[in-house]
Amino acid sequence: MKTRSHTGAALIATAVVFLGACPSLAGLAGVEGDVEFLYSDPYAGSVAVAGDFNGWSMDADPLEMDEEGVWRVVLDLEPGRYEYKFVVNGSQWMADPDNPKVVGDYGNSELVVGDDGMPTETAEAGTAEPVSNTALSSRVKLDGWYRATYNTVSNVPSDPRWRLERPAHEVYLAIKPTVNENVTGDVTLRLDTGVGDINKLFAEFYSGNVVLSGSAFGVLGYYNEERYQFDNPIEQLGHYNLDGTILQERIYYGRGSQGVGLDANIGPTSLVFVYANIYDWDIYNDPEIYDNTGTDLLAGRLKWPTDTVTLGATWTSLRDGWWINYLAEGNEMPELDEFVAETGSESDWFELAIAQQIGGVDVDWPAMQELLRVKAEIGYASYRARWDVGNKERIEGTDYTNGRINVPVGDTAGWVPKLILFSDPVPPLSLRLDVQHTGIDGMDEDEEWVSYETPVWGGDPRRNYTDVGSAGSSLVVGVWGPAPTRDDWETEFDAGVKFGIFDALLEYDWGKYNWEYYATFFDEEAPENTKLDWSGTRSRLALQSRVDLREADKLWFGLDTEYMGFSVDGGGVYDPLDTWEIILLGRWEFVTQWSLVGDLRWMTYYDIPREEEEEENGDGNSAARSDETYTDTFFAPFVGVVWDLRTNIKVLFSYGVNPTNYIDTPVEGHGNGRERWRSHYQWTHSLVGEVGAEKALEDAQTLGIMAVLTF
């Protein structure tokens, strides 16, 4: 143990020294009619600025370092345009890391001095993304972070002792080349220690993109990023709600797609088209693993403004094509059995094709300027599943090969209108109201819904398909009974207010769902044409508030709370528990560079079904419990001390499961750490339900040290 601890401390210390040596962004500033050049690097031996204003002299205008490691020099320059670079340690020629304007064949930084002797707005620091911060190239920017995490845990399954988990070390390195103003890129590499042999290091091409832009057209190729968000009311394309966050915030999370996009602007009309493959769905595997389901995304959005409104049209299609082993044990395929019997097909693998599409037209109308803005869309949604290809359906030469077939499985479609109203009646107050109706026709009794994920109406699949894609594949496709007729109404009301030190967001959601099922959804042997009705309501009231008592994030407190209530009548297909969640959080810098952080969470579940069990009476005789349900509250605290050694170096000493998830996320994390912990616990304990996982989270004890160094 001592050896591991010393090794970890050495790694952190080495990273601190190494990354601390990386220069921060430099820049330009105006000082009483002069130009101030700044360069931040406390470990440099010398810094000078060379440019066409001093004949590119390497020593004519040296900079002096202040107590914080920032090098400075003030020069009196005549109005005009100049090119310059920093000369570090007498030999390294480096473009200004904080000046995005790089020009010429040599990648010099550009400075424009106005008539007042000060740098113009186009050259001021922070006006655009810098294109370089390294002497390696004036057109390449390097950034990223190093993160080390050490957790010791108690009360893990089958082991009540305090044990040190395997430390995790991760390095993310982003390389951002700028060929010219029309060609840019971004490549992120990830290194981590992973699991298994301590001498092994795991490396991956984490994400990347290349952007080709022109006056009217632009092309984007991307990998493992979420690059597109449509702004139509139904929002067919974009990031999904982040599980585990109390307000289900729409956060860019999961990345999980790769593809190509086309942007075109012809006059006022704009067009976006995306063709991509999605692979960020977790099916039946470890929640930390992305499964490639083979889902293809085709989407397009067209917008054209008029004098009074902006009109739009959107189409999105998600398509799956899975080869499934017809002969695999347990793969019951009644539609194919009938097809094989009629045609004599000799295929032993068939492709199951799924297409989910929605197309719509929308309007954006600024009815009363700040007082009222209206957005509305009418969309048509459809689902189609059918067996479309067999592997031995035709002969080429002397061999069998793939051939088309057409064996329907299930089809359904319907309309989805949505209305959104925005209003800012008083400057601190903003209001929003969403209303959406979903009217979908049900399937016929002999049809089935097929998917790798549970449909929105819930229930258990009547059977599963294995050997999906290849023999022994972990992907499992479920088959449900005929989809119900749906008549759903959903509303959302948001009210935000921000003034002074106070910031709050109140959200109320209400949904009413009416579904009509064939009884065969539950039991294939049910009488024909027997239908069941199910109805339910969902209400949600959430508040997110924050009070900033000091500037620069040094003292603030927040309260997040959410109540979820459900009412179910008939059927019993979908009957979730009512919950009330409260989170108190905040940060207090009690000494310079040292802060206390807290995130205290209470979670209450109502009307939990109690399995029949017996308890002892006072006389020693046993008796059955009289109550059928019970309510329970769980407490999961997270507290810590943060040491902000420098702006780019942070060390966290903590107790509790970190609510900010640090697995496969940006360095600042996402607020779904507890949700990921519970999901993983349920994965490793297949018989434990949602409440059981919550109890395990309450009992978990974790002491941790995490060092994060950005550069």
The pLDDT, as a whole number, for residue 494 is: 95
Name the pLDDT band for 572 (thresholds 50, 70, 90): low
Per DSSP, 156 falls in state B
Q: How do residues 307-350 score in pLDDT, each as one tens digit?
A: 999 999 999 999 999 999 999 998 999 999 999 999 999 999 99
DSSP lists the bridge partners of residue 318 as 297, 356
Name the pLDDT band for 129 (thresholds 50, 70, 90): low
The pLDDT, as a whole number, for residue 651 is: 97
Q: How far apart are CA 272 and CA 25, in angstroms?
A: 34
- Mean pLDDT computed over 6-17: 37
DSSP lists the bridge partners of residue 44 as none
- Mean pLDDT computed over 167-183: 89
- Mean pLDDT computed over 77-106: 87
Q: How do residues 643-661 score in pLDDT, each as one tens digit?
A: 998 878 999 999 999 998 8
Contacts 24+ apart (CB under 8 A), 273-282: 273/299, 273/300, 274/228, 274/237, 274/298, 274/299, 274/300, 278/318, 280/254, 280/255, 280/256, 281/256, 281/452, 281/453
Name the pLDDT band for 570 (thresholds 50, 70, 90): low
% of the chain surpassing 90 pLDDT = 53
Q: How do residues 446-499 score in pLDDT, each as one tens digit?
A: 999 999 888 888 778 889 999 988 888 877 899 999 999 999 999 999 999 998
The pLDDT, as a whole number, for residue 554 is: 92
Q: How far apart are CA 570 and CA 556, in angstroms?
A: 47
CA 345 to chain centre: 45
Q: How far apart are CA 316 and CA 383, in angstroms?
A: 12
Residue 541 reports pLDDT greater than 90? yes
Q: How far apart are CA 458 and CA 437, in angstroms?
A: 19
Q: How far apart are CA 631 and CA 30, in angstroms?
A: 64
Q: How do residues 380-402 score in pLDDT, each as one tens digit?
A: 999 999 999 999 999 888 888 99
The pLDDT, as a whole number, for residue 470 is: 86
Domains in the chain: boundaries:
26-129, 217-480, 502-710
Report the candidate in 104, 124, 118 with the shortest Cα–Cα distance to residue 25.
124
Residue 1 reports pLDDT greater than 50? no
Residue 302 reports pLDDT greater than 90? yes
Residue 665 reports pLDDT greater than 90? no
The pLDDT, as a whole number, for residue 624 is: 45
The pLDDT, as a whole number, for residue 178 is: 86
Label residue 529 left, alpha or beta by phi (over 0 means left) and psi (-120 to 50 means alpha).
left
Q: How do residues 405-439 score in pLDDT, each as one tens digit?
A: 999 999 999 999 999 999 998 889 999 999 999 99
Q: How do residues 255-298 score in pLDDT, each as one tens digit?
A: 678 899 999 998 899 999 999 988 755 555 565 666 666 789 99
Which homologous superfamily is 26-129 in? Immunoglobulins (2.60.40.10)
Label residue 692 left, alpha or beta by phi (over 0 means left) and psi (-120 to 50 means alpha).
alpha
Report the candidate in 432, 479, 471 with the shortest Cα–Cα distance to residue 453.
479
What global pTM score does this model have?
A: 0.81
- Mean pLDDT computed over 77-95: 91
Residue 329 amino acid letter: E
CA distances from 395 to 342, 347, 404, 464 (A): 19, 12, 12, 31
Q: Which of 113-122, 135-144, 593-602 has the lowest mean pLDDT?
A: 113-122
**Residues found in the chain:** 711
Residue 519 reports pLDDT greater than 90? no
Return the exposure string of 233-254: e unless at least 16 CB atoms fall within 10 Å of the residue's CB, then b: bbbbbebbebebbbbbeebbbb
The pLDDT, as a whole number, for residue 666 is: 79
Q: How far apart are the first and last CA of the chain?
A: 31
